[in-house]
Amino acid sequence: MDLTVLLVKGIIILVIFGITLLIATYSTYAERKVAAFLQDRLGPNRAGPWGLLQPIADAGKMFFKEDFIPSQASKWLFILGPCLAMLTALMSSAVIPFGDSIRFDNYSIPVQGIEINIGVLYIFGVVSLGVYGIMVGGWASNNKFSLLGAIRAASQNISYEIALGLSMIAILMMTGSLSVRAIVDQQASFFEWNIFTQPLGFVIFLTCAFAECNRTPFDLPECETELVGGYHTEYSSMKLGFYLFAEYINMFVSSAFVSALYFGGFHYPFMNEVGSALERSMGAITGHNIATAIGFVVFFGKIFFFIFFFMWVRWTLPRFRYDQLMNLGWKTLIPLSILNVVITGAGLLYNFKYATWAIVIVMVLMVIVSGARAPKREAIPQQV
């Protein structure tokens, strides 16, 4: 590999790293603003214009707080916990293709940390490691509430990983490759986006992504009403900051992953027309680079939509009860995703990509029928 190529690759990796951190930082601000909007408040508006410096103020506060380690805690594991959480959160964005490719001279470099032919498995592996940060930290705190939070996190992640993996398998069957770039490239035309070919898989995947990120309605590991603060009860200062920050990074990465798997990644309608028009008017190299930049921006638009969706759900839905969580995971999502895989396979035998709509239609019909057959409840007038 050439030195220039290596340099550009290094810059791309650094930029992705920086963007990940920046987006995670401003997600905390966006979360407060969205929460404020949904609750009819103003939200942070004191630090800087429109409160834009709020995340920096928060970070400053976190750094200057007392860094407390409980005396009975296992000290090294207590420190290792947040480090692991942060590490696994940052690792997974390496294989996501953020854009097409940058061209200069004779080189063509994909806008992606690293292209490996098992990208999907890599992300899946890193995500499955994410629970260690929580488990190690929760156990090392030597606190019953932390331990319960850690154990909840472990059982929840393991339960939802299965459905997550099975819904991903349907995508892999459609593409025939484990590389994320190949999956994105396969969705080049608008109606071949996996959201249209795999509607049920998308719903399952999104639900499981919520569970894997420990976001509401699945934030039982840090359920305040039952567990004080959950796994980070004993944490303070920047260690707590790392846990909270890792959650936002996970949110960004899963948004990016959902957009890459189901919403065509950096593709947008009429992309080829725009690309060829740009190349005609500005020359092959500049035009191609500008087209890549547009794709990059479109991809981030999709990511921001999903980050907003995560926040929207958090401030709209109440938390599940624990048995509801387990029932949903094991008795609903796993059988549905297995059915999804089977129907997808049957459809692919006859070269029909939209077979899983059959499940969706049947489910909608069942809901309508059961709704119609349910006894009508008479409105009881209030007794005075």
Partner 1 sequence: MTEFLSFFKTLTPTGYLFLFLTVLTLFSAIGVVTARNPIYSVLALIATFFCLSGHYVLLNAQFLAAVNIIVYAGAIMVLFLFTIMFLNLRKEDEESKTNLTKMASVVVGGLLMIMLITIFRAKSAQVPTVSATSFSAKTGLVENLGQLLYSDYILPFELASVLFLVAMVGAVMLGKREAGDRHF
Q: Rounded to 10 degrees, what is the CA torsion of 286, 292, 297, 300?
A: -160
In the region spanning residues 134 to 153, those forming contacts with partner 1, defined by CB under 8 A, are 135-136, 139, 147, 150-151
Residue 286 binds partner 1, judged by CB under 8 A: no
In the region spanning residues 25 to 64, those forming contacts with partner 1, defined by CB under 8 A, are none
Residue 87 binds partner 1, judged by CB under 8 A: no
Measured CA to CA, the distance from residue 212 to residue 106 in angstroms comes to 42
CB of 150 to partner 1, least distance (A): 7
Q: Which is nearer to partner 1, 292 or 344 (CB)?
A: 344
Contact status, residue 80 vs residue 235, Cβ threshold 8 Å = no
Which of 78, 98, 124, 300 is in the footprint of partner 1 by CB under 8 A?
Answer: 124
Measured CA to CA, the distance from residue 51 to residue 56 in angstroms comes to 10
Measured CA to CA, the distance from residue 124 to residue 128 in angstroms comes to 6
**Any idea what DSSP says for residue 370?**
H
Measured CA to CA, the distance from residue 83 to residue 246 in angstroms comes to 9
Of 25-33, 35-43, 156-164, 304-312: span binding partner 1 (CB under 8 A): 156-164
CB of 151 to partner 1, least distance (A): 6
Please tell me whether the peptide bond between 217 and the residue prior to it is cis, using omega within 30 degrees of 0.
yes
What tokens were used for 229? 């603060």
Which of 118, 244, 290, 348 is in the footprint of partner 1 by CB under 8 A?
Answer: 118
Residue 174 binds partner 1, judged by CB under 8 A: no
Q: Which is nearer to partner 1, 139 or 243 (CB)?
A: 139
* Main-chain dihedrals φ then ψ at residue 319, nearest 5 degrees: -75, 150
Residue 155 binds partner 1, judged by CB under 8 A: yes
Sequence-ordered list of residues with C-beta below 8 angstroms from that of 149, at least 6 positions apart, any chain: 134, 138, 221, 222, 223, 227, 229, 230, 231, 232, 233
* Main-chain dihedrals φ then ψ at residue 110, nearest 5 degrees: -65, 140
Of 121-129, 255-263, 338-346, 362-370: span binding partner 1 (CB under 8 A): 121-129
In the region spanning residues 88 to 117, those forming contacts with partner 1, defined by CB under 8 A, are 116-117
Q: Which is nearer to partner 1, 98 or 122 (CB)?
A: 122
**Residue 156: closest CA among 224, 103, 99, 218:** 218
Which of 5, 42, 114, 158 is in the footprint of partner 1 by CB under 8 A?
Answer: 158
Q: Which is nearer to partner 1, 176 or 269 (CB)?
A: 176
Which of 31, 58, 100, 161 is in the footprint of partner 1 by CB under 8 A?
Answer: 161
Which of 27, 93, 112, 157 is in the footprint of partner 1 by CB under 8 A?
Answer: 157
Residue 259 binds partner 1, judged by CB under 8 A: no
Measured CA to CA, the distance from residue 202 to residue 94 in angstroms comes to 22
Three-state secondary-structure class, residue 142: coil
Q: Which is nearer to partner 1, 57 or 178 (CB)?
A: 178
Residue 154 binds partner 1, judged by CB under 8 A: yes
Q: Which is nearer to partner 1, 74 or 237 (CB)?
A: 74
What tokens were used for 147? 């331990």
What tokens were used for 71? 């005396």
Measured CA to CA, the distance from residue 381 to residue 272 in angstroms comes to 62
Residue 121 binds partner 1, judged by CB under 8 A: yes
Q: What residues make contact with partner 1 under the rule CB under 8 A? A: 74, 77, 116-118, 121-122, 124-125, 128-129, 131-132, 135-136, 139, 147, 150-151, 154-155, 157-158, 161, 178
